[in-house]
Amino acid sequence: DFQHVLVNFEANVLTITMNRPAVLNAFNALMIQEMTEIVEAAAQDESIRCIVLTGAGRAFGAGQDLSAFADKPATNHAQATQEHLGAYHRLVNSILQLPQPSIAAIHGVATGVSLNIALACDLRVAAEDARLSEAFARIGLVPDGGGAYFLTRLLGAGKALELALLADEISGKEAERIGLVTSCVPLAGLEEAVRMLATRLAHGPTQTYGLIKKLFQQAQDKDLAAVLQLESKYQSMAIETADHREGVQAFMQKRPPKYSGK
């Protein structure tokens, strides 16, 4: 049982809901710890074939819970930040390294480190009411939780720096336009849109998805020769999977494939 996170497992999809709605799901130490524990366990569980990350109440997440820092002298801020960062880094890495596909379902506020946690997911679906912002500079901080890494890769260096410096909120529609989210849907349709996407992924070739994720992550800082080597490595693994055989057989037999994830 978790204090700040709800977990639901249904039809091979694990939904992780950040659950501190009174503070718009701002992160405290326990919520970071609980989420990390859940994500690390999910990585080991073959029955989980897609992971959805979302927030309870009217927001995805309002970043770090600032109340813990508000009444401390300035010197302790830096110390507390250092302590928190290690925990955030472990969470970001655990999401990024998930072998299964992950989706962030974003409604309302997604700001600061909460937004960057969403960027660690493979796909993002935003509601039209979404308010995304790299709010850090507003309170005199640099983006953490991997923001500089994710934003520059998703958007290019120029747009990434603009979002970080101006720290303005952008809407779900604007986020879709610039490629920060996969799609933007009306709030009332968010749950269903994410359920459909998660179900589709959960019926896919899970092991191959894991290989695709590794290939694309590792390709980011390599030249073509190195990427071609990597694709050979991962293709020779994919070609051995039962799902590859099933995919080819289904094509030849003119029927939809039935993937086991293996």
Q: Which residues bind ligand T3D (CB under 6 A)?
A: 23-24, 26, 62-67, 81, 84-85, 109, 111-113, 135-136, 139, 141, 144
- For strand 131-133 and strand 170-171, is the pairing parallel, antiparallel, or unpaired? antiparallel
Q: How far apart are the first and last CA of the chain?
A: 30
Tell the smallest beta-carbon distance from residue 102 to ligand T3D (Å): 20
Choose between 101 and 146: whose C-beta lies nearer to ligand T3D. Answer: 146
Helix and strand element counts for the chain (H, E): 11, 9
Nearest approach, Cβ of residue 259 and ligand T3D (Å): 38
Q: How far is the CB of 99 from ligand T3D (least distance, A)?
A: 27
Tell me the closest approach of the beta carbon of residue 209 to ligand T3D, in angstroms: 29
Closest separation between CB of residue 128 and ligand T3D, Å? 16
Q: Which is nearer to ligand T3D, 93 or 218 (CB)?
A: 93
Amino acid, single-letter form, for residue 75: T
State how beta strands 123-127 and 131-133 pair. Answer: unpaired
* Contact between residue 124 and residue 71 where contact means Cβ atoms under 8 Å apart: no
Tokens 């983006």 map to which residue?
143
Pairing of strands 109-111, 131-133: parallel
For the four alpha carbons of 167, 170, 175 and 177, in that order, the dihedral sign comes to negative
Q: Give 116 or 208: the residue with its C-beta nearer to ligand T3D.
A: 116
Which tokens hold the place of 246? Answer: 């099933």
Q: Which residue's CB is nearer to ligand T3D, number 126 or number 211?
A: 126
Tell me whether residue 41 or residue 66 sits nearer to ligand T3D (CB atom): 66
